[in-house]
Structure 1
Amino acid sequence: MDSRPRIRLLTRGDDLGAFEAGNRAIIDAYQYGILRNASLIAPAPNIHHAAHLVKQFPRLCLGLHITLTSEWDAPRWGPVSPAETVPSLVNRDGCFFRTTMELFRQGINIDEAVREVKAQLQLVRSLGLDICYLDEHMVPGWIFHPADTLRTPLSSAFKAIAREEGLIWYGDITTQAEALPASRDLPETLRHIQPGTYLLVTHPAYDDAETRQVVGSGHTQPGNLARIRAQDAQLLRAPEVMRIIDERHIQLVRYDEVSLL
């Protein structure tokens, strides 16, 4: 048995279900690249397209990307639950607020947030998807109810849901893994990292007519988001990255494999 210290790389692709171009890029990054985990946005408009694709690749580890915000001008999305049952989560248009700060200022009802997360989990499971872990879209876990003098963060409720549902809470993995930037410097970084567990979070999508029209949340120019996400898609399939991983015997791992190593 090889007893040498190992380098383990946990690779994650976020926003599965948001764009068809993202769904295709994530699948390609798994099939032909280094991606091993993908996080689903249940309320997003292309979730059924995502489910159709990922069911063909059961070894791709799936997580629910807990989503309580809707940052783009288009597409916009709202809760899986009926909007009238989660009024503290929605804007006047019936969609989620654009930012976590807006959600916080609204005065979030924790019970409504829990109800919505469970509804999102039920939806993706109803599509025949095996969910392994929970993580957060736009990281709403810091939010607490303004009346709560203890300032109990929403992430505590999320973690409790994970335990109740027998899922991995991504925050428990984050404490074990060092984050790597998804940048053009990744090959150089991989050449020099020492044994340990590392996390690479990406947002892959293809640059096409769909993604070029997306604006909002810091991307005010059409095409900006498409360009940035296409870079992530390329990074996950870059020959140089794949060659270094092979040469250094870097293990590409799923969320459900981290606790076993």
Structure 2
Amino acid sequence: MKLIVNADDFGYSPGVNTGIVDAYKNGIVSSTTMMANMYGFEDALKLHKEYPGLGVGAHLVLTSGKPLTNLPKEFLDDNGEFLRRPIYLDDQNESIERDWLDGELIYKEWKAQLDKILDAGFNVDHIDSHHHMHTHEQTRAAAKKISEEYKLPVRSSYLDEKYFNSPDFVKLDGDGLLSNKNTDKQKFVELFDHITSFEIVELMVHPAYVDFYLMDNSSFNTARVYEHMWLTSDYIKGLLKERNIELVTYKQFK
């Protein structure tokens, strides 16, 4: 079977970028998704030029950093940055409707973010979003429009199946296991045994080295170091080899 191990948040900060690239060089990460509006964008661009084999998608943002377009004040906090995730999604990832959440404005902002990534020279092969905001009931149409316009697949079970790479394509969230230093190794055996029952799987991960920007701006910070630890471990690399799991990127399915 084929496995895409996608590290979200490329471009968030230099520490995040370095952790992702190291998990690609020395671990099982095969793909990442880029944030166009964040502090570490230029640093990520430099790093990727050194490692062009790392697959790159667009990580569309509506809940971190500053927008690239002139959005109304309702989208922003007092510092001119995007409002955070709890404004839009509850603890069960259910959509919270906001009457000012205009789909056309979101489309223009996300298009500007994607265009910035493309203009920088990245060969974008798929789309997802920070905090899964493209799954929000009021943003799905914008994500679908961009997917159609740029002919890029989207990570989401909310969009029509034709936007997937395969009917058997599934997404798994690795954060719960990988972000725990003391995870029972048997849990990883169960995870990868489960993965082999599908044709194609994307495992979503968040490896990083911690820097000041990550600590100051994200509540999910030090746990990312443990994700890096597991993703580069000989143990997990051995599990993939034993099960004949092939690491790939979205490029193989465009």
TM-score normalised by L of structure 2:
0.80
Does residue 187 of structure 2 align to residue 189 of structure 1?
no
Structure 1 residues 107 and 142: CA distance shift in structure 2, 3 A: farther
Please give the alpha-carbon distance, in whole angstroms, between the structure 2 residues aligned to 1:227 and 1:92: 27
State the alpha-carbon separation in 1 of the partners of residues 166 and 14 from structure 2: 28
Q: Which amino acid aligns with 1:204?
A: P
Whether 1:227 aligns to 2:229 is no
How far 1:234 sits from its partner (Å)?
1.2
Q: Distance in 2 between matches of 1:65 and 1:178?
A: 15
The 5 Å alignment of 1:107-118 reads 107-118=100-111
Q: 2-side partners of 1:243 and 1:37: how far apart?
A: 19
Q: CA-atom RMSD, angstroms?
A: 2.4
| Distance apart, 1:135 and its partner CA | 0.4
Aligned: 1:207 with 2:210: yes
Of 6, 17, 23, the residue aligned with 2:11 is: 17
Q: Deviations over 1:35-87 (max 9, x none)?
A: 111011111111000111012222211111110012xxxxxx21012x3x554
Match of 2:123 among 109, 130, 140: 130
Bigger shift: 102-111 or 161-170?
Answer: 102-111
Secondary structure, aligned partner of 2:238? helix
Task: Give the distance between the partners of 1:100 and 1:174, measured in 2 at CA.
Answer: 32
Residue in 2 that maps onto 1:150: none
Residues 258, 189 of structure 1: alpha-carbon distance in 2 compared, 3 angstrom cutoff: farther
8 Å contact kept, 1:88–1:112 = no
1:169 to 129, 146, 154: 154
**Normalising to structure 1: TM-score of the pair?**
0.78
**Which has the higher Rg, Structure 1 or Structure 2?**
1
Aligned residues: 229
Distance 1:43 1:178 in 2: 25
